[in-house]
């Protein structure tokens, strides 16, 4: 099958029997639901750009398994150039959507599970790697979107999976059959889960022998029997349900999506199992996936940051302060922070190395430095955006007020007339354009898009302390102490 078009992707979702719940009710036509459709449009952009010849080098690549042209989101990295192009592709998509385009978690899961299954088979003589190669070939040939599901609810975080009062706090095997396994549990905060054709489930922490039933990784179709999703809320999300609120939404076309993914005794055939009780490899999958995903943030958040900086510059221009030295300095600082994130993404990619399985992995230390910066810099970027934009960003009347024909003035002025008069921009700029850029910045800084640009920057791919733990492990303090001893003459 050739690369899918955006339209083919959207129609392929309609064919699934995915169970989606929102506000306590099942959503039958979730593909066209106004709160969900913007996130589908984001994923569709990954298909649209792959069809555009000017982006072919970034968006498509020859498969290492079949030699056929595939979407880079389904690719197994074969060089440091591949790793760098991944980051460039993610920046491009951030620029095109100003949102989370949701396909990165699957790509990062592919590469982590590919190399890990090779080493599990090497030790135990299992067939997980062959299972995974068959699966990823199917994904590539059909240009599928796959969600990478890692984060468990965790329950009491002071206790291991096997010690939880409720065993479902971590996804686990409840029954082993000759033809497969039955699994139960849930995954939280799952980006793009509803919009995916398949899911790859992975462990979320390192495990001990007592946790072997929780040391499980597998692939599962999104509409498998016993699997369903409960849609997560976002700030200002119901604006998407309002009539005549296309401006108030801020970003009417694109958006992100997170859900609770529940596995209620779901059967997984043997051919889709990639880990089943080999507990000592759970940590390897976690570490490798986290490394790839922390690299990803050096691309996607940078692309979104580009749009935030552009919107901030427009707000300054519309307010008539673009020439003020303080405003120029703030834009310089925003650009400096954003490009620093990009530098980290490119650096950890350029220092990548070949795994035993043959695909390439990023430099783990630099990937964790990248994500540590991502937990901070987007917050400062949006703070500066709010500084430049001013209070109108969050106090402006609604779009309906600007369009209202209700008479309120002594001379027959309508509410719309009054709003357009007193919220006018500089000469030559329409009030509506100013209104649009303010609402867009509100969406990015505080609204629905802040989920993907702010909080996800903090907790996605691991919270800040997770990166600090990895930096401590990878930082080679003992080797650096020896460098100092050698120079200082200490034996």
Kindly list the catalytic residues: 100, 104, 191, 258, 293, 297, 300, 456
Secondary structure in 3-state letters for the chain: CCCCCHHHHHHHHHCCCCCEEECCEECCCHHHCCCCHHHHHHHHHHHHHHCCHHHHHHHEEECCCCCCEEEHHHCCCCCHHHHHHHHHHHHHHHHHHCCCCCCHHHHHHHHHHHHHHHHHHHHHCCCHHHHHHHHHHHHHHHCCCEEEECCCCCCCCCCCHHHCCCHHHCCEEEEEECCEEEEEEEEEEEECCCCCCEEEECCCCCCCHHHHHHCEEEEEECCCCCEEEEECCCCCHHHHHCCCCHHHHCCCCCCCCEEEEEEEEEEEEHHHEEEECCHHHHHHHHHHHHHHHHHHHHHHHHHHHHHHHHHHHHHHHHHCCCCCHHHHHHHHHHHHHHHHHHHHHHHHHHCCEECCCCCEECCHHHHHHHHHHHCCHHHHHHHHHHHHHCCHHHHCCCHHHHHCCCECCCCCCEHHHHHHHHCCCCCCCCHHHHHHHHHHHHHHHCCCCHHHHHHHHHHCCCCHHHHHHHHHHHCCHHHHHHHHHHHHCCC
């Amino acid at each position: 099958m050739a690369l899918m078009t955006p339209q083919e992707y959207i129609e392929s979702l309609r064919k699934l029997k995915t169970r989606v719940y929102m506000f306590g009710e099942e959503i039958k036509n979730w593909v066209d639901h106004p709160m969900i459709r913007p996130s589908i449009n984001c994923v569709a952009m990954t298909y649209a750009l792959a069809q555009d010849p000017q982006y072919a080098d970034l968006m498509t690549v020859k498969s290492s398994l079949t030699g056929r042209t595939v979407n880079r989101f389904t690719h197994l990295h074969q060089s440091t150039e591949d790793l760098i192009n991944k980051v460039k592709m993610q920046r491009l998509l951030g620029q095109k959507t100003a949102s989370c385009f949701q396909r990165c978690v699957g790509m990062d899961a592919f590469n982590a599970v590919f190399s890990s299954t090779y080493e599990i088979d090497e030790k135990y003589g299992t067939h997980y790697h062959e299972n995974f190669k068959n699966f990823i070939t199917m994904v590539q040939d059909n240009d599928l979107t796959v969600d990478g599901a890692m984060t468990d609810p965790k329950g009491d975080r002071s206790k291991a999976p096997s010690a939880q009062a409720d065993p479902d706090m971590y996804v686990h095997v409840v029954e082993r059959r000759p033809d497969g396994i039955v699994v139960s549990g849930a995954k939280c905060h799952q980006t793009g889960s509803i919009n995916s054709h398949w899911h790859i489930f992975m462990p979320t922490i390192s495990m001990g022998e007592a946790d072997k039933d929780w040391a499980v990784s597998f692939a599962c179709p999104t509409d498998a029997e016993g699997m369903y999703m409960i849609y997560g809320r976002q700030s200002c999300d119901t604006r998407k349900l309002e009539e005549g609120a296309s401006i108030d939404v801020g970003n009417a076309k694109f958006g992100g999506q997170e859900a609770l993914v529940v596995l209620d005794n779901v059967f997984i055939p043997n051919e889709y199992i990639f880990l089943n009780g080999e507990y000592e490899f759970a940590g390897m999958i976690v570490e490798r996936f986290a490394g790839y995903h922390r690299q990803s943030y050096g691309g996607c958040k940078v692309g979104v940051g580009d749009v935030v900086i552009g919107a901030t510059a427009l707000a300054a221009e519309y307010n008539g302060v673009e020439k003020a030295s303080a405003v120029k300095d703030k834009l310089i600082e925003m650009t400096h922070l954003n490009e620093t994130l990009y530098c980290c993404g490119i650096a950890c990619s350029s220092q990548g190395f070949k795994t035993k399985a043959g695909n390439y992995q990023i430099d783990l230390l630099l990937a964790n430095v990248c994500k540590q910066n991502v937990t901070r810099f987007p917050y400062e970027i949006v703070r500066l955006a709010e500084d430049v934009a001013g209070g109108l960003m969050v106090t402006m009347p609604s779009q309906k007020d600007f369009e209202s024909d209700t008479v309120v003035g002594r001379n027959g002025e309508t509410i719309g007339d009054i709003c357009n008069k007193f919220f006018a921009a500089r000469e030559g700029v329409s009030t509506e354009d100013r209104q649009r850029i303010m609402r867009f910045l509100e969406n990015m800084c505080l609204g629905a898009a802040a989920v993907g640009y702010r909080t996800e920057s903090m907790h996605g791919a691991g919270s800040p302390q997770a990166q600090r733990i990895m930096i401590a492990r990878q930082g080679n303090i003992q080797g650096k102490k020896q460098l100092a001893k050698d120079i200082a003459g200490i034996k």
